[in-house]
Amino acid sequence: MPKKYTETELGQELQNKEYEYGFYTDIESDKFAIGLDESVVKAISKKKNEPQWMTDWRLEAFRIWKKMEEPDWANVSYEKPDFQGISYYSAPKKKPELASLDEVDPELLKTFEKLGISLDEQKRLTGVAMDIVVDSVSVATTFKKTLEEKGIIFCPISEAIEKHPDLVKKYIGSVVPRTDNFYAALNSAVFSDGSFCYIPKGIKCPVELSTYFRINEGGTGQFERTLLIADEGAYVSYLEGCTAPQRDENQLHAAVVEIIVHDDAEIKYSTVQNWYPGDSEGKGGVYNFVTKRAIAYTNAKISWTQVETGSAVTWKYPSCILKGDNSIGEFYSIAVTNMHQQADTGTKMIHLGNNTKSTIISKGVSAGKSQNSYRGLVKVVKNAKNARNFSQCDSLLMGNECGAHTFPYIEAHNTSAQIEHEATTSKIGEDQLFYCNQRGIDTEKAIALIVNGFSKEVLNKLPMEFAVEAQKLLELSLENSVG
């Protein structure tokens, strides 16, 4: 019987947020010493009250990781992190509580305003003590009820390990195995928390989980682990991330996202990544090394949409394993790099089933002294008949000091495969800018207009209200990019 949730209870829970952080602060005082060995992995698992099987799973991951070497094939250069110089357990920090928005950095507020983030949300994001807002409380309550009624599980992964061990055991590491790569192995050993979502057979999740997130999401950890499962015939649209700028003292972020789409099911996964990119000299930004992969069974559909504007170094390839016949994989991406940012991102479409289809639309915008690479693999195995792929990679350059690169890999082992690849590179020209200026549009706004036009096909794939924010985010990311 699902637990009833009254508005008062929810209100209390929201107010208790600080309390929760307070609890963590105590732990933080005995924050783990830096470095990583088996005892640290065990201790993380213990802190989270995990069952033995989870501890063992983490330990195995750690043993695998120890034997691996850090990869270096991406088109990025950065100072390698010192893995023994990191503390692997630090719970969310207690943010200093502020009495009002007046105490918040005015620069940050200006950014929020430009993004069109509501006052309440601004308060939440900056840690201003919040009055309970009737609106969002009732919205959250309605969501929670709706989800429970449908049997949808949506909770932190640590809670899922405790309450739904069979599901977690069955699926974790099934798409991204611990042996997959260096960062996935590391994440498997030390993941802090993340989200878990299960949509039962035949259920269409009636709300965008994005909206839910916008109200409930707390701080994201350094090693996040996300597991999404749509059972047969189920549907969900899920959005992770935030357009608001996120500063973090953790330099290395290595998340893992696994998605399982059963027969006739569909998952739409959208993400907006806006980690701190570093200062104008390129110092202090976040490294974002993420493994995201989905498996699609018969007649299933997975679509990834990503807007990447943050991080000093981004290294990720949300991928689709099209295992079942007639399964469909889609990848829509906008990656914007400015200043000294580097991005090496793209996708892998692995066609295993017959009549599988994949679409890749990648838009890269490079400004400043940044480097922006698309890297994508389309693979059709020998037994996969009638596989089809369409890839389109467009690059837009601003100025003379940035770079755009495209690395498409195609491996077709079945002669019935149809693979199309199109690529274009263009530059925001003086002519375009002058044309806009002549019509009264200043250069900054003109760039925003041109970039939004360029990115339109991908922006259109985002959930409506988020598309508007993402559009503004693109404008912000490119501010001052032309002298």
Question: Which among 222, 173, 226 is positioned nearest to 198, based on CA atoms?
Answer: 226
Among 437, 468, 479, 482, binds other proteins (CB under 8 A): 437
Among 432, 475, 479, 482, binds other proteins (CB under 8 A): 432
Contact range with other proteins by CB under 8 A, out of 100-108, 178-186, 333-341, 447-455: 447-455
Contact range with other proteins by CB under 8 A, out of 73-81, 415-423, 442-450, 463-471: 442-450
Kindly state whether residue 305 participates in binding other proteins, applying the rule CB under 8 A: no
**Considering the complex, what minimum distance in angstroms separates the CB of residue 367 from other proteins?**
17
Question: Which among 229, 299, 300, 302 is positioned nearest to 260, based on CA atoms?
Answer: 229
**Local structure of residue 475 (DSSP, 8 states):** H
**Local structure of residue 193 (DSSP, 8 states):** B
**Considering the complex, what minimum distance in angstroms separates the CB of residue 273 from other proteins?**
22
**Considering the complex, what minimum distance in angstroms separates the CB of residue 398 from other proteins?**
14
Kindly state whether residue 440 participates in binding other proteins, applying the rule CB under 8 A: yes
**Considering the complex, what minimum distance in angstroms separates the CB of residue 457 from other proteins?**
8
Kindly state whether residue 457 participates in binding other proteins, applying the rule CB under 8 A: yes
Tokens of residue 468, six digits: 């508007």
Tokens of residue 381, six digits: 């195995």
Q: Which is nearer to other proteins, 339 or 451 (CB)?
A: 451
Q: Which is nearer to other proteins, 53 or 434 (CB)?
A: 434
The answer to whether 302 touches 331, Cβ cutoff 8 Å, is: no
Question: Which among 378, 379, 288, 296 is positioned nearest to 335, based on CA atoms?
Answer: 288
Kindly state whether residue 435 participates in binding other proteins, applying the rule CB under 8 A: yes
Q: How far apart are CA 179 and CA 61, in angstroms?
A: 7
Kindly state whether residue 332 participates in binding other proteins, applying the rule CB under 8 A: no
- Residue 49 gets the label, from left (phi > 0), alpha (psi -120 to 50) or beta, of left
Among 72, 431, 464, 483, binds other proteins (CB under 8 A): 431
Contact range with other proteins by CB under 8 A, out of 4-12, 14-22, 406-414, 423-431: 423-431
**Considering the complex, what minimum distance in angstroms separates the CB of residue 453 from other proteins?**
3
Among 199, 267, 307, 450, binds other proteins (CB under 8 A): 450
Burial of residue 296 (number of CB atoms within 10 Å: 0-12, 13-18, 19+) = buried
Kindly state whether residue 449 participates in binding other proteins, applying the rule CB under 8 A: yes
The answer to whether 472 touches 445, Cβ cutoff 8 Å, is: no
CA torsion sign for 48, 52, 56, 59 is positive
The answer to whether 182 touches 287, Cβ cutoff 8 Å, is: no
Among 151, 202, 218, 453, binds other proteins (CB under 8 A): 453
Kindly state whether residue 114 participates in binding other proteins, applying the rule CB under 8 A: no
**Number of C-beta neighbours around residue 401 at 10 A:** 11
Residues 416-447 as b/e (b if ≥16 CB within 10 A, e otherwise) read: ebebeeeeeeeebeeeebeebeeeeeeeeebb
Contact range with other proteins by CB under 8 A, out of 297-305, 309-317, 426-434, 461-469: 426-434
Kindly state whether residue 393 participates in binding other proteins, applying the rule CB under 8 A: no
**Size of residue set near other proteins by CB under 8 A:** 22
**Considering the complex, what minimum distance in angstroms separates the CB of residue 464 from other proteins?**
17
Kindly state whether residue 438 participates in binding other proteins, applying the rule CB under 8 A: yes
**Considering the complex, what minimum distance in angstroms separates the CB of residue 478 from other proteins?**
15
Q: Which is nearer to other proteins, 66 or 445 (CB)?
A: 445
Question: Which among 266, 250, 121 is positioned nearest to 190, based on CA atoms?
Answer: 250
Q: Which is nearer to other proteins, 179 or 443 (CB)?
A: 443
Kindly state whether residue 68 participates in binding other proteins, applying the rule CB under 8 A: no
End-to-end CA, the chain:
62
Helix (H) or strand (E) holding 363: strand 357-366
Kindly state whether residue 464 participates in binding other proteins, applying the rule CB under 8 A: no
The answer to whether 294 touches 302, Cβ cutoff 8 Å, is: yes
Q: Tell me the residue ranges of DSSP E strands in 381-481.
A: 388-397, 403-412, 418-427
Using DSSP's 3-state secondary structure scheme, residue 181 falls into coil
The pairing of beta strand 153-156 with beta strand 195-199: antiparallel
Q: How far apart are CA 362 and CA 422, in angstroms?
A: 10
Kindly state whether residue 452 participates in binding other proteins, applying the rule CB under 8 A: yes
Kindly state whether residue 434 participates in binding other proteins, applying the rule CB under 8 A: yes
Among 105, 107, 166, 430, binds other proteins (CB under 8 A): 430
Kindly state whether residue 400 participates in binding other proteins, applying the rule CB under 8 A: no
Kindly state whether residue 392 participates in binding other proteins, applying the rule CB under 8 A: no
Contacts to other proteins from residues 144-203, by CB under 8 A: none
| Interface contacts to other proteins, rule CB under 8 A | 429-432, 434-442, 445, 449-450, 452-457
